[in-house]
Structure 1
């Protein structure tokens, strides 16, 4: 089965780095609508790795969530900015 190639400029990781700098932006990831709130850069002192975290509001669950953008499973997902 072929996997769909995702354009890097349409991924969550790209949007957090370049589009979601200061504004509160709504976007769709899958069937869920989110609103971007803030980006947190977390440094793990045990191995020196930085994690990029996006604080978002999930409209489906009606609560705030943290998405680990530096994780490829989340950061490489395609989004649609509303």
Structure 2
């Protein structure tokens, strides 16, 4: 069995402000570019703009990790 290579992906989206456990993903970009993304001042009433990096074998896995991160992070409140 071969090991799946991982790479860094940057997930960009919106989190729901009510409890921060819901994430709406806008894009999954290859590479560690979260530091280069300038999140504009939010104008949404119920959402916060969000970007985070995840190591995963593919973009879909990075998105799944982002969903899980937001669900577990929101549980802390």
TMscore range, shorter length: under 0.3
TM-score by length of 1: 0.23
- The answer to which structure has the higher helix fraction is 2
TM-score by length of 2: 0.24
